[in-house]
Amino acid sequence: MKPSRPRRWIAAVATAAACACVAAMAMAQGVPATGAQAQAEPAAAPVAVRYLDLRRPEPIHGDAAAGKAKSEVCAACHGVTGTATTAIFPNLAGQRAEYLYWELVEYKRGAQPESPMTPLATGLSEQDMRDLAAYYASQQRQPAAQDPQATVDPTLAEAGRRLFLNGDPDKGIAPCQGCHGPEALGYPLAAQADGAHLSPYALYPALRGQQSTYLQSRLNAFQQGTLLDSTNDMIMHGVAQRLDAQTIESLAAWLSSLPP
């Protein structure tokens, strides 16, 4: 099936949605103005940043062997090599180290106080988080652990596929592939650093073969605004507000059905 809009529209809508959301939330939270805005407006007094600005993160390096040795507790939920033991926990194998590291930082900051990850992350050192991120990033993706009683509704999954690839212009929903790639493996240029040796696209996670239950709970958290600790969270909050229960379920059904 051909996309309902040209590829340029897909890229433009995804970029515009991300930029507009981050800009609006950043201004509301007190991030200093930049570029033309800084020239047009008087300088404001510094404001303490209450969230993580992840628009241009540095590449993350860690010791994968050390991370494996530190991952014993993690294996209870995420499996020995990063494939979750049940569908409520995310697969970590094959995610980019940058994404995994900053997720741990958010938990350590207490962004999700009710999560079992919060007390576990609190005791991690900076090097621990880098090593764990490097270890799971080095592992090969495996099929998601699905409920043996569950079956994927092909009609629902097809709706999720169309939404992921094409979006829904009538509802203002940008195609998910604009950030997560056409194969749902993350942004295609995520590994490329910019001129300042930063990685602006490294924090868009791979979603292919992810656990369905986890995907739904994560999208619900973004939609409800219970997860707003970083600029990436703010982007997803803006996106998820335009989704309903059926579109969330359809996206999760299609993504979790894909081979890793």
Is 117 annotated in a binding site? The answer is yes
Is 179 annotated in a binding site? The answer is yes
Is 176 annotated in a binding site? The answer is yes
CA distances from 95 to 8, 21, 91 (A): 27, 24, 8
Distance CA 193, CA 210 (A): 26
Is 21 annotated in a binding site? The answer is no
Is 25 annotated in a binding site? The answer is no
Q: Helical H runs in the chain?
A: 7-29, 35-40, 64-70, 75-78, 97-108, 117-122, 126-137, 154-166, 177-180, 212-224, 231-240, 245-257
- Token pair, residue 240, equals 């998820």
3: number of Cβ within 10 Å: 14
| CB distance 187 to 95 below 8 Å | no
Give the residue ranges of the annotated binding site for heme c: 74, 77-78, 117, 176, 179-180, 236
Give the residue ranges of the annotated binding site: 74, 77-78, 117, 176, 179-180, 236
